[in-house]
Structure formats: structure tokens, C-alpha cells
Amino acid sequence: MSSVVKSKEQKQELLDRNSFCILPWVHLYAEPDGTVFPCCTATPLWNEEGPGSRYDPKFAKSTLKDKSILQALNEHNFNVLRKEMLNGDELPSSCTRCKRFEDVGNDSYRQYGRRHFGKHIDVIDNTNEDGSLKKLDLKFLNVRFSNHCNSSCLTCNAQWSTTWWDNSPWLKKAGVPKLLQLEDNSKLPFWEQIQPHLHTVERIYFTGGEPLMMPDHWKILKYLVDNNLTDKVELQYNTNLTRLTFGKLNALDMWPKFSSVDLGLSIDGCESDFDIVRWGSKWTDVYNNIKAIKKIENIRYSIDSWQKYFYIHTNQDNSPDFKICKCKHEDINKWEDFIPAKKETVIGGLDFLDDYILRAEKSDAISKLYVRNIKTNKEEEIKISDEAIGVPGASLMQKDTNTTKIRVSWESMATPGKIYEYDIVSKEKKLVKETEIPSGHDPNKYIVERIKAKSHDGRMIPISILRLKNKKQDGKSKLLLYAYGAYKHSVPPSFSSSRFCLVDRGITFAIAHVRGGGDLGDVWHTEAKKKLKKNTFFDYIACANHLIDQRYTFKGGICFYGGSAGGLTGGAVANMAPELFFSMLLLVPFVDVMTTMLNEELPLTPAEWELWGNPKKFKEYFEYILSYAPYNNLSKKDYPSMLITTSLFDNRVLYSEPVKYVAKLRDVKTDNNNQLLKCKVEASGHGGMSGRDNAITELAEEYSFILKTAEIFK
């Protein structure tokens, strides 16, 4: 049997399933000890029972110590995994981590694989009936050649750094080996096995240890360059960037030849802070190497080649939200604007068909899709729904680019996700997949709206609204107003089935797209950094007051909902305008900004100074942070009912922050409202408990609190 699924339609259906991942067919992940796993996320370090092995132990027999790559990938449990994916309705148990990410709406490694390698779905034709592979068709190499590294970072251990091992005498006594190298742990010469696949591989991820210190890394790069194989290979790195050379080889000479080079730099701070956290590395080396790579600081490029032209996605020429340039292959020095930069509009990348170019952009916190006819150069928006506000997406999974049909997704705050087959020419669409809501759902019962509020400085702040269609806009409804406002994070007006247990009971749901996030691009973010941070809080209060003025709710009828840096927003506005709220949910909130920013021993703090300012070094930042920090500004007044959550295992916002905040709040408040603290002592981090059931339980607790304080539940 060549494959369980044969037809083109069946393959596309399989690819669209949440139970399928293409990586076990096209991907090799190997550890320095020779062990092979389906991917680098095959079960997490922590499970419900507590700490365990890093990977699913049933794959431990898949090792290159006594097997070839194909033999290792055809071990029994690999075969079972592929067979389950071809035939099952649920992700296999080894894919728990991806399932957990997807259950809470986050991106997963499975989805990453689909985006980059879904076009190779025909590879399943290489599958035998028992799930084994007839041949290797590797497209993605993710290999840790060794743990050799020149740094002993505070956040690392001897498994990933030989230098860390040098500073740990107890490891020597315990007999823990210092250096692990794949070449020492492979039965067959690893290079001889990998070399043929370098002619078809599309993506290589280098990590370690420190990959730029490893001979195998440079051997691969040289082979790709010498054999003119670089134009379709994307490189990814996790590196400390302390060196760019190896013998006579120089990365600066080799990297420009590749289609894409993505550098993930291990940087926790600058100058002496870096030298302390990244012990053994020198900030001056990293800084000089960054300058050498970029030459022009902060300029980013992503290049596509199509029909004798290069298309360059870049932020050069003061285009913080990007633009797209083009040039002929034979004249790479003559660039012209293809999609010029637009004010407060994020320009996305391109996808190509023979006669059409697809692209996306986002403005006013609304994403849109566009298609351009290459022959006529005319461009128009792809409108897949009559709804004005939603989240569209397009994908080109097919190999054949001589087509006018694409896959377009759509969802809104009222409409669950749908995938259509869309014809660019005829505008016809055919529904091929729809997210099922088992309890039933009718989008026509609801209204999705977009309004704007004027902030204190005249800036117009978008608000996305979801409410019942048959509920009067009479100023009597309770309203939940969500906000985040930091790290350039955008909050899309997407679908969430859980919200309807509130909306169906008459609570209006709204998102305040406040500054600090990236909803309107880079400037939207920078206008709420450092000494402009209060713009986030002013924006939120302006949105709340505008919703009151427009009779969506009333003064005292709002519930604040936000977590982490969004919890900071909630804590600040609670001090500034507590009269607006009947309750607040502050989830793992960053409420003690000052203490955290003064403690440079915390690994995340030095990097955070870029956003908040360094109060330890500069008086102006000390005074400014002190003026809005939620904990420091608690005072004797009435506060609304609150539910504040934290976790003992939160490594981003230490549990001490919410705990001391609640203690002081209870001491100074003059009201009789409940300010509740929930501290999770189970294996739970910044993102909450793992597992679908635990996530549902936590959400039920939060929504029960809202309904109780809204006096919907007595």
C-alpha cells in the first residue's frame, strides 16, 4: 500500500485536520547523543504528574548509535505515530504539547510544519501500510551536532554547554560526560547520510551548544555554497553570535547567498549585564558582529524570486511597518517600490501564482487580503465575507502555480473559522471546512462593530465589539473590556466560543486596541514605551468612557479583563478610574513594575529596560515608573471586586508581585468588595495550567467570577 490517502482532495482534507502533522515525513531531529525524536516538542518537560524526561521515552530506541537515519525514523513507535496521523481523529499522545498550545489559541510546532512544508503533502505516498517510510524525503533538518559552547549562561545547563560543565565540579564527580557529539554517536558516518539530502532540503535549523563553533555546521554551509544549492535553502540559528568565522570560512561571505537567514540571538541585556548573564561571552564581540551583519542598523530583508524578479520585503528607508521593493535578477542594484510603505499599515509578505500575486496588510487593527494581476498590474481586495471586521488568511498548499484557485480562511468575533476554496477570477467560493461548535452556534444572533474613541492626545483608538443583536443599546448592559497594550502584541478580532457564555447572558464583549500593542504598526507600539507608557492607560480609559457615552454600558458597568502586561494596564486604570468598573480580572499581572525593573539579577529584567526604561540607572525612569506602577499607587479609596491570579512556577511575573499587591490592596481599600487571590501551586506557569480540561476549568472560574459580580448569578 503506497498511502492511506491517494486523491488530491483527500490529501488536502488530511492536511487541514487538527490531528495531522507533516513533520514525521519530512523532518529529522537528532540530539548530540544520537537519539532521534519526531520533533523538538515531542511531549513537554513537565506533565500532569510532574517533571519527567524531556521527550517521550518510547522513542528512546530510535538512535543513530546502531541505525541509519532511515532505520531510526522507521522504528516501531515512529511508524505507529504516522499511522495514527493518517487514520485518527486526534493527535497522538506524543503530540501533547502541540495540542495544548492549540487548545488555548497559540501557534504550535505542528502548525509551523504545515505552513512551511504542507505543499509536500504528496510525501505520504512514500508510506507503507505499517506506517514506515519507503524512502527519505527530508525537507527540514533540525540537528544538534554537539553541546560544545563557549558560554555558561545562567539560564542553561551542562546538557547544552560544555563550559557550563567546566564550572560544575559535582558533574565531574557524578560521571556526567562533558562533550556530546553526534559524529561520535552515529553508527554510520553522519555526513555521508546527510549529504544527499542537502540537494532537496529547504530549511535547516542550527542550534547547540553554539552552532557557529561546530565543524559540521560549516561543512554543511560550504557544501551548499560550493554546489550552488543556496537559493532555496532557509537557515535558522539559535546562537550567541560571539564569532562569525571558522578557520578561513566567514559567515558574512556565505549567508548573503542563501534565500533567508534568521538569527535568533541569545541576548538578555547589554554591556556588563550581558557579560554576567551570558558568562564566558563578551558583549563587545556580539555588538561588533551585529554591526558587521547589518551594516545599516535595524534593517531587515526577506527576499522572494519570481519570474525574473526579486521581491524584497524590507523596513529600509524609514519604513517601520515594511514595504515591498522589486528588481530584475540581472540588475539587483536598481530597486523600485512595488508596494510602498503606508502610514500605520503593516505590509505583509507575498505569495505567487503564475498570473497573480497575493499579499496581506493590516491597518486600523483590521487585516485584509489583496490579489494583483501580474499582466494588468491591477490589485483588488479579496472579500470572503460580508462582515467588515474579521481575520482573513490565505494559503498556497498546491505545487501547481498555474491556477486561479486558493484556500482562504475567515473568522470573526461572531463567526467560527471557515476555509473556502476561492477562485480569484470568478470570485466563486466553496466551503471546504468549518469549525464545529458542538453546542450549536448561530452567528446571525450577534452584531460585530468597530468604533473609535478619542484619547487624551487626540489619537483615535479602535474598539472591536461583540454583542447580542436583540439587546437594546440603552446604556444598561454590563460590558467586558479586554486590553493588553505591550510588546507590539496585536489582539485580533477573532472567534472564541467561550465568550458566548457571557454574551448570551447579555454582557457585551469589547477589545480596546490600545497603544503599546502592534494593532496599528510600529508607531502604535513606540507611542507607549518608556516615558510614554501612560498612553496605554489613557487609551483604555478613553475607550471605557466612549462606550459609556455611546450607551453600550454605564459608569460602573465595566469588567476589566487582562493578563501579564495587560494586568499592568488593569492595575493602573484601577488606581486612575476605579469608578468605571464593577469587577476586574488581573491574570498573572505585572503589577510591581518598579521592584522588578530595579532587580537586574532577574534574567528578564535587563532586556525589559528597552520597553520600560532603566530606573536603576536613570532618575527620570524611576520617577516615571513610580508614577503609574499599580502596587506603588494603591491608596485609600473604593476599588471594584477583583480576581487576581498567580502561580508559584511563573518565571515571567514572580508570584510575589500579585501576592504583595493583594495584601496592600486589602489593607488600603475602603470598600466592602472582594479582592480574591488565586495562587496555583500545581505545575502551572505564566500561561496557566496545561491540558484542555485544566484550561476549561480555569476559564470557568474566571467567567463565573464575572457573572457573579455582574449579578447575573446570584
pLDDT tens digits for range 52-84: 445 566 776 777 888 888 888 888 888 888 888
pLDDT of residue 644: 94
In 197-259, DSSP assigns E strands to 203-206, 234-239, 245-246, 249-250
Cα distances (angstroms) measured from residue 236 to each of 110, 211, 217, 260: 17, 11, 12, 8
Instruction: Say if residue 640 is exposed, middle or buried (CB neighbours under 10 Å; 0-12, 13-18, 19+).
Output: buried
pLDDT of residue 707: 94
How many percent of the chain have pLDDT more than 90? Answer: 45
Q: Which of the residue ranges 39-53, 251-265, 475-489, 528-542 would you say has the lowest mean pLDDT?
A: 39-53
DSSP, collapsed to helix, strand or coil, labels residue 29 as strand
**Residue labelled with grid coordinates 558574512:** 252
**Residue labelled with grid coordinates 563587545:** 284
Residues pairing with 391 in the sheet: 411
CA dist., res. 570 & res. 563, Å (int)? 8
Instruction: Compare 441 and 396 and report the one with higher pLDDT.
Output: 441
Instruction: Compare 694 and 703 and report the one with higher pLDDT.
Output: 703
Instruction: Compare 298 and 647 and report the one with higher pLDDT.
Output: 647
Q: Which of the residue ranges 88-97, 212-221, 332-341 would you say has the lowest mean pLDDT?
A: 88-97
User: Average model confidence (pLDDT) for the chain?
Assistant: 86
**Residue labelled with grid coordinates 558568562:** 279
Q: Which of the residue ranges 76-80, 233-237, 272-276, 656-660 would you say has the lowest mean pLDDT?
A: 272-276
2 has pLDDT over 60 = no
Give the mean model confidence (pLDDT) for residues 417-430: 93
Q: 578: which DSSP letter?
A: G
Cβ neighbours of residue 274 closer than 8 Å, sequence gap 6 or more = 267, 268, 281, 283, 286, 606
In 564-674, DSSP assigns E strands to 581-587, 641-647
Cα distances (angstroms) measured from residue 465 to each of 65, 491, 513, 520, 546: 58, 13, 11, 18, 13
CA dist., res. 476 & res. 468, Å (int)? 13
Residue 686 catalytic? yes
Instruction: Compare 241 and 346 and report the one with higher pLDDT.
Output: 346
Give the mean model confidence (pLDDT) for residues 318-340: 88
Instruction: Compare 603 and 69 and report the one with higher pLDDT.
Output: 69
Confidence at 239, pLDDT banded by 50, 70, 90: confident
Confidence at 688, pLDDT banded by 50, 70, 90: low
Residues 359-391 as b/e (b if ≥16 CB within 10 A, e otherwise) read bbbbbbbbbbbbbbeeeeeeeeebebbebebbb
Give the mean model confidence (pLDDT) for residues 296-324: 82
Residue 564 catalytic? yes
Q: Catalytic pick from 395, 650, 684, 690?
A: 650
Q: Catalytic pick from 108, 409, 564, 690?
A: 564
How many percent of the chain have pLDDT more than 70? Answer: 88
673 has pLDDT over 70 = yes
Give the mean model confidence (pLDDT) for residues 314-318: 85
398 has pLDDT over 70 = no
